[in-house]
């Protein structure tokens, strides 16, 4: 039996909202009313007995006489494992509908916002299912995992603009001897895991020692409800009681933004905008000190990088080489100052290093080189290659069962390159849905307007025609960008293209939409004027 720290009243004072999206990643304090508990138990027991009657009609009366809580006393006469796959434990449409109308469901909506319930197994209705854990049967509980890993491996479809939240409810259990195992705060970090095909499905397996990651036992009584983040590492508890434990659970799709006012990683939306201003200030200063051009191109993509690195990417600056990290490729490598400043601001390396940008012997070159600083994935700057690299990485993610995602930022002028469209065709043909391209559509190339040089417009329709799910967005709306990036993959089985409408030189009035700043370097007076606007 695994050892965990017991906690008789986990997070009981936290609201469901603050607990689920806060430090711990879970919340309790909600309980079923006694009539709700009685009715749900009766529905589960009716379903339980119907399954037994179908598979072993000659023993059904014996099981009925003992009741569900004593199921373990006779389970040896059945093939327990084959009798109870998940699909056999999904409650009927009628039962699910009745539970959906109960008061505790309204309490969930009042706390977390309106929600739908997932149908992961495509049964045709909102999926509520129960679990059976016999006393002393360790095989009845699964390994520690995060539900997010299942979704990353292709289980179910998450609606656009939704957050996933899990609900687990104790129905039959002995107080103090049963419950749920959780790793508090585990939703805020990335874990090493891989996919293994079992029972015809790809299932995640943790690559870390369960006994060393701080699991805690949340002990429960019948009717206790635990609500938790879909990234929380958890698992069923070993049943040390004398009765069969019964619980039920479901996954909620809560409208994005209802869970918390901030964004992934704990950064408030207003904070993101301040970060973007700081990064723009650093870029202008870097251009001046390093005597480096491409200032307008760097400024136009800042909000895209902020939405990714401070919002959507599953990354840890302290574990920059984590094999399960999301990958980010700045294919328009001439905008390297934006990437360097973002990585430093995010904590991948000291901010002081930015002062050496483009100096002789410095690690931060005018074009990025692989491994020059933590967090920088590949060398770019020779336009047209970043998407091919990204598609390959995303395909490797799928083959290895890791689940990481790959994001590539391209310039609109870069879409002139044939290699971009070769990669686009391959990704669509192979249904590489864990890759996302973001086109920084600032409408300028080195020598003129993008649409005049190569007739890019209508750009969104071109990506759609190549088999990509395509979105158009204001490329300076950090919250909108973050929402789209977080929803990769979106469950549609296609790669995703985001056409981000941006302004070259964004943030400095006298640089905005002026293509001279593709090559110009600010002098002392222009630097001071730009910093007054950005820092004022």
Average pLDDT, whole number, for the chain? Answer: 89
pLDDT tops 90 at residue 488: yes
> By mean pLDDT, which of 142-156, 467-481, 501-515 is the weakest?
142-156
List, for residues 217-259, the tens digit of each pLDDT value. Answer: 999 999 999 999 988 999 999 999 999 999 999 999 987 544 4
> By mean pLDDT, which of 24-38, 195-209, 317-331, 465-479 is the weakest?
195-209
- The stretch 26-35 carries a mean pLDDT of 93
- The stretch 103-123 carries a mean pLDDT of 91
Place of tokens 């996302």: 436
pLDDT, greater one: 65 or 161: 65
pTM: 0.55
Q: What angle do CA 87, 90, 91 make, to 5 degrees?
A: 150
173 near 205, Cβ under 8 Å?
A: no
282 near 460, Cβ under 8 Å?
A: no
pLDDT tops 90 at residue 381: no
pLDDT number for residue 19? 76
- The stretch 304-319 carries a mean pLDDT of 91
pLDDT tops 90 at residue 16: no
pLDDT tops 70 at residue 266: no
Q: Which residues on neighbouring strands pair with residue 163, listed in sequence order?
A: 254
Q: How confident is the model at residue 160 (pLDDT cuts 50, 70, 90)?
A: low
List, for residues 446-461, the tens digit of each pLDDT value. Answer: 888 998 999 899 999 9
Q: What percent of the chain is modeled with pLDDT above 90?
A: 69
Q: Where do runs of H (alpha helix) occur along 202-354?
A: 269-290, 295-300, 302-307, 336-346
Q: How far apart are CA 465 and CA 186, in angstroms?
A: 40
Q: How confident is the model at residue 10 (pLDDT cuts 50, 70, 90)?
A: very low
pLDDT number for residue 218? 94
Mind listing the domains of the chain with CATH numbers? 5-258 (2.60.120.620), 267-535 (3.40.50.970)
Render the burial of 391-411: b for 16+ CB within 10 Å, e for the rest: bbbbbebbeebbbbbbbbbbb
Q: Report which of 143, 230, 217 is spatially closest to residue 173, judged by C-alpha positions.
A: 217
Output the DSSP codes for 30-54: EE--HHHHHHHHHHHHHHHHHHHHH
Q: Report which of 401, 10, 442 is spatially closest to residue 184, judged by C-alpha positions.
A: 10
Q: How confident is the model at residue 289 (pLDDT cuts 50, 70, 90)?
A: very high
């Amino acid at each position: 039996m695994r050892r965990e720290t017991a906690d008789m009243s986990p997070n009981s004072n936290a609201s469901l909202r603050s607990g689920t999206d806060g430090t711990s990643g879970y919340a309790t304090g909600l309980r079923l009313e006694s009539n709700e508990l009685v009715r749900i138990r009766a529905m589960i027991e009716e379903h339980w007995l119907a399954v037994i009657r179908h598979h072993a009609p000659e023993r059904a009366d014996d099981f009925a006489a003992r009741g569900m809580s004593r199921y373990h006393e006779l389970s040896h006469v059945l093939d327990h494992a084959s009798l109870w796959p998940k699909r056999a434990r999904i409650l009927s449409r009628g039962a699910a509908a009745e539970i959906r109308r109960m008061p505790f469901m309204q309490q969930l909506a009042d706390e977390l916002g309106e929600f739908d319930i997932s149908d992961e197994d495509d049964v045709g209705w909102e999926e509520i299912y129960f679990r059976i854990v016999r006393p002393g049967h360790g095989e009845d509980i699964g390994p520690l995992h995060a539900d997010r890993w299942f979704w990353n491996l292709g289980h179910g479809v998450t609606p656009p603009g939704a957050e996933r939240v899990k609900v687990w409810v104790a129905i039959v259990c002995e107080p103090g001897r049963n419950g749920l195992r959780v790793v508090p705060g585990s939703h805020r970090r990335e874990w090493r895991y891989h996919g293994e095909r079992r029972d015809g499905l790809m299932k995640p397996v943790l690559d870390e020692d369960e006994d060393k990651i701080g699991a805690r036992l949340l002990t429960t009584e019948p009717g206790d409800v635990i609500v938790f983040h879909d990234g929380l590492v958890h698992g069923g508890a070993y049943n040390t009681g004398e009765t069969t434990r019964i619980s039920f659970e479901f996954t909620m799709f809560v409208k994005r933004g209802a869970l918390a006012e901030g964004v992934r990683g704990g950064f408030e939306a207003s904070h993101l905008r301040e970060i973007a201003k700081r990064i723009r200030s650093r870029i202008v200063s870097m251009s001046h000190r390093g005597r480096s051009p491409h200032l307008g191109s760097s400024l136009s993509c800042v909000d895209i990088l902020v939405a990714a690195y401070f919002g959507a990417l599953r990354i840890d600056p302290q574990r920059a080489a984590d094999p399960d990290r999301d990958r980010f490729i700045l294919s328009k490598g001439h905008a390297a100052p934006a990437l360097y400043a973002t990585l430093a601001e995010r904590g991948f390396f000291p901010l002081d290093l930015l002062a050496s940008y483009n100096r002789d012997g410095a690690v931060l070159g005018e074009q990025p080189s692989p491994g020059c600083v933590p967090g920088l994935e590949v060398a770019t700057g020779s336009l047209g290659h970043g998407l091919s690299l990204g598609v390959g990485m995303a395909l490797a993610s799928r083959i290895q069962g890791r689940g990481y995602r790959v994001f590539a930022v391209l310039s609109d002028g870069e879409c002139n390159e044939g290699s971009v469209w070769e990669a686009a065709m391959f990704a669509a043909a192979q249904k590489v849905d864990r890759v996302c391209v973001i086109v920084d559509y600032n409408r300028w190339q080195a020598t003129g307007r993008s649409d005049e040089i190569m007739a890019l417009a209508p750009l969104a329709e071109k990506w759609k025609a190549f088999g990509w799910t395509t979105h158009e967005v204001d490329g300076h709306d950090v919250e909108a960008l973050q929402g789209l990036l977080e929803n990769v993959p979106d469950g549609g089985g296609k790669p995703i293209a985001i056409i981000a409408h941006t302004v070259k030189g964004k943030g400095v009035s006298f640089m905005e939409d002026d293509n001279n700043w593709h090559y110009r370097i600010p002098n002392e007076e222009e630097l001071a004027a730009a910093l007054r606007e950005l820092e004022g």
